[in-house]
Amino acid sequence: MDHAHDVVSEAALVAALEASGGVGFWMWDILRDEARADPVSALLFNISPARSRAGVSLSEILKAIHPDDQAHISQVILDCVQTGGSYTAEYRVCSPEGQLRWLFTRGHFYLDQDGRSTTGRGVIVEITDSKSAGAAFAIRDGATIDDALNRTADLCLSLHNMVSQFGDAPLVALTETLLLEIGRRLADRERAARTGSLH
């Protein structure tokens, strides 16, 4: 298969980041191992939007994560896949041209009645400007989330999950718009917490 048209350029990514405000989302069909993302999220992980629409494996997406961050981030995500629930992470991705970018992500994994993971969904925000240094991290939520904004994010991810199942395109688009706004709020709060802790 010819992947020549799938080369991801820095220019395409920069344009997508500007158009989206640096916010995107992803979903992963765990049983088929097919991940799909909106254009900005796909490009951040060095995957062309066309290939993302067709679905790519999680291992291919994880390749974009900076080698120093990869093992820890992957482990937290895979633990979360096993048991369901949500996680928050910040880590670096590396573009084909060697550009490093920081991402903030909030994801949630859903289990079926038998306790098997079926799908994962999440929101991604590019936060490079506000995070010039610091450590990558990934943390799982406990059984209860008492924080209103994180609860809202999880509810919206669940809503997107449900609406996608009955395939009403305008409703799916509305839930995506809401998800992206919530992602921005989460990232803004992370930024504010970080600048607050520096003083």
**Mean pLDDT lowest for which of 9-13, 78-82, 173-177, 186-190?**
186-190
Question: Rounded to whole angstroms, how far apart are CA atoms 86 and 32?
Answer: 20
Chain segment 129-150, per-residue pLDDT in tens: 776 667 888 888 765 556 888 8
Which domains does the chain carry? 4-143 (3.30.450.20)
The beta strand positions in 30-179, using DSSP E, are 34-37, 85-94, 100-111, 117-126, 137-140
pLDDT band at 1 (very low <50, low <70, confident <90, very high): very low
- CA 124 → CA 16, 113, 116, 168, distances in Å? 13, 28, 25, 23
- How far is it, in rounded angstroms, from Cα 141 to Cα 127? 21
* Mean pLDDT score across all residues of the chain: 85
Query: Could you read off the pLDDT of 10-65 as tens digits, one per residue?
Result: 888 888 888 888 888 899 999 999 999 988 999 999 999 999 989 999 999 999 99
Neighbours of 193 (CB within 10 A): 10
pLDDT interval class at 124 (50, 70, 90)? very high
Q: What is the reported pLDDT for 183?
A: 83
What pLDDT band is residue 2 in, cutting at 50, 70 and 90? very low
141 vs 74, more confident: 74
| Cα–Cα separations (whole angstroms), residue 170 to 15, 24, 29 | 25, 18, 21
* pLDDT beyond 50 at 73: yes
Confidence (pLDDT) at 44: 93
DSSP secondary structure, 112-132, as one string = -TTS-EEEEEEEEEE-GGG-S
Q: Which residue type sits at 68?
A: D
